[in-house]
Structure 1
């Protein structure tokens, strides 16, 4: 678990407001991050979608 938490440290969330709506994007996600999330299940994967 320590390696997983360490690996996700570089992930950032960018929130912008456009025409009254808040848009959120996840930055710096790589294939290894998506693979880890898919192994953890939909609950965790949906956090980053």
Structure 2
């Protein structure tokens, strides 16, 4: 396996987009609708678990 395509938050054109990606018909320079931090400390709020 050389890549994983995560199809979260799909819309009406998700099927067409998922076919265009492996065939190179699109440029994958988009933006996510959320932020993924490199470290847990990069988030302003931390989840506290346990007692």
TM-score in same-fold range (> 0.5): no
**Greater RCO structure (CA 8 Å; 6+ sep):** 1
Greater share of residues in helix = 1
TM-score band (shorter)? under 0.3
Greater radius of gyration (CA): 2
Give the strand-richer structure, 1 or 2: 1
